[in-house]
Structure 1
Amino acid sequence: MTVRARWLGQAGFWLTATGPGGAAHLLVDPYLSDSLARKYAGTTFPHVRMLPPPVTTADLPPLCAVLSSHAHTDHMDPDTLVPLMAAQPELRLACPRAVLDQALRRSRAPRSRLDALADGDRVDYGPFTVTALPAAHEERVRDSRGDDHFLGYVVEVAGTRVYHSGDCVPWDGQIERLAALDIDVALLPVNGRDAHRLAHGVPGNFDFAEAVALCAAAGIGTLVPHHWGMFAFNTVDPATFDLDAAARRGVTVRVPRHDGTLDLTVTR
């Protein structure tokens, strides 16, 4: 069985596992609209897309599930989720339990179709096994029950383990948790962070060096850097990625192209 990831822009990925029985599909954090440009028109950060959505919801095949890592619109977009959930009545949506109410509103799907997850929860979607982990979008945020508002997901399929951190910076215990999961590929946001963006409501993520350091320390051999190239105020130039420094630390960097597909298949 082969495992491929198609980059949909920002943190969005379309994972496909193909074997003798056919193909199975899963989305993570799809943002396939221009809803943020309308929402933030005329503000300091107008959220104008640098590139158009590579697909529409109508282009997508039947999906096993959609994973949303948190409730920011570029990760849980109503203009993507509502038509998608309506068009595929068996489709399931996974989200952090702490933001279940937002997911219900954003998707307009019944509660029975949503899987509200917390740290350590596991769920199967066809051939994909998904495990939830905490994320720190500049910081870990928990509700009154201790559930994280921001999650990452480890997706295991056909022996390949892919970690999508959601929006994230390094957090205490992260390296140990990831090392124990024997992850093959990390999909990490590398647009960085600064006080100016944070002051205007835009918390940040790893920078490229931090993403490489996490992979090297956790024994993750392949890094796919994302969350760049969508909004001019919140991107980074991929030409600045120090691929040689990553290689010296034992990390292979595979820089995705907009709407490009990467083969992530691992043979153990």
Structure 2
Amino acid sequence: MAFAALRFSGTLARRLAAGRPERGASLYWLGQAGFLIDTGRIRLLVDPYLSDSLAEKYRHRGFSHERMMPPPIEIADLPPIDFIFCTHFHTDHMDGATLAPIAERFPAMRIVVPKASVGVAREKTGLGPDSFIGIDADETLALGMEDEVTAVRAAHEELKRDEDGHHLFLGYGFDLAGVRVFHSGDTIPFEGQRSEIEALRPDIALFPVNGRSEALRSAGIAGNFTLDEAVSVASACAIPVVLAHHYGMFAFNTIAPERIDAKATALTGPTRLLRAREGIEYRL
């Protein structure tokens, strides 16, 4: 699978308005764990956080959630979206202030969330049940004639299920007419993870790299892969390209971008590491 990272001039809104891919898929980073994926047939968002709702929520308590980077695109400038995927219920991944206005603009769009969090998603957004599709680990959902997604487990420090046995944290393996994109969701390594990822045969993996700490865990903030863990898992699963993300949004829970770049430069072997960046179209 050919891969290219292409810098574009102007805003993301202008780039998206300029045209869609005729083949393959194009990916754009939206900050934190958010991505837009476009194949020309179908356009998806994963974990978009395009508001400042967490800054308002934590204005006078806890860790500051002021954005370190502005949204790369305004909701009003988004092109038509077919599906939004949320990996779990945390607001930087399932943001009512982002999801609701997008759903208002595109009523035919559907929001795919873990079955364990359908109720939470409705509460966050105020949207009716017809707006949502619930999915659980090991389930596959057809997105169109050539496109589908398979959900897998994620361990946002823990593998958790609700009282009905549905997983709270998911990753998504997209098969978009043979272009395979894997978004792990927020996760750390866990037993069985490698075989689940290998079965999806990703061409590219979108992995968080902000790591975790006891101090944050004690404050109720679960962590993710360290940079080294993300690279190790990708290499073990023979994934050609890794986009490192989940950094640069909140000052209390990030990693210096220079560390990602240094790791990428030092890597040898078949797996290529890149830091997710604004102003870049990642093309497969």
Task: Please provide the CA RMSD for this pair.
Answer: 1.3
Q: In the alignment, is the contact (CA less than 8 A) between 1:135 and 1:165 conserved in 2?
A: yes
CA offsets, 1:120-165, max 9 Å, x none?
1111223531111110001111112221100000011131111101
Q: In the alignment, is the contact (CA less than 8 A) between 1:85 and 1:107 conserved in 2?
A: no
2:50 is aligned with 1:28: no
Q: Report the equivalent of 2:257.
A: 238
Match of 1:119 among 126, 129, 137: 137
Q: Could you tell me the TM-score, scaled by structure 2's length?
A: 0.88
Q: In the alignment, is the contact (CA less than 8 A) between 1:3 and 1:158 conserved in 2?
A: no
Q: Which SS does the other structure have where 2:267 is aligned? A: helix
2:270 is aligned with 1:255: no
Q: In the alignment, is the contact (CA less than 8 A) between 2:24 and 2:179 conserved in 1?
A: no
Q: Which amino acid letter does the alignment assign opposite residue 70 of structure 1?
A: H
Q: Distance in 1 between matches of 2:143 and 2:124?
A: 21
Deviation (angstroms), 1:259: 4.6
Q: Distance in 2 between matches of 1:16 and 1:214?
A: 26
Q: Could you tell me the TM-score, scaled by structure 1's length?
A: 0.93
Deviation (angstroms), 1:44: 3.4
Q: Report the equivalent of 2:147.
A: 128
Q: Which amino acid letter does the alignment assign opposite residue 3 of structure 1?
A: A
Deviation (angstroms), 1:45: 0.9
Flag structure 2 segments of 5+ consecutive residues without an equivalent.
1-22
Report the identity percentage. Answer: 41
Deviation (angstroms), 1:245: 4.4
2:107 is aligned with 1:102: no
Q: Which amino acid letter does the alignment assign opposite residue 105 of structure 1?
A: E
Q: Which SS does the other structure have where 1:187 is aligned? A: strand
Match of 1:12 among 29, 34, 37: 34
Q: Distance in 1 between matches of 2:33 and 2:103?
A: 20
Q: Which SS does the other structure have where 2:234 is aligned? A: helix
Flag structure 1 segments of 5+ consecutive residues without an equivalent.
none
Q: Distance in 2 between matches of 1:238 and 1:253?
A: 12
Q: Which SS does the other structure have where 2:25 is aligned? A: strand
Q: In the alignment, is the contact (CA less than 8 A) between 2:31 and 2:49 conserved in 1?
A: yes
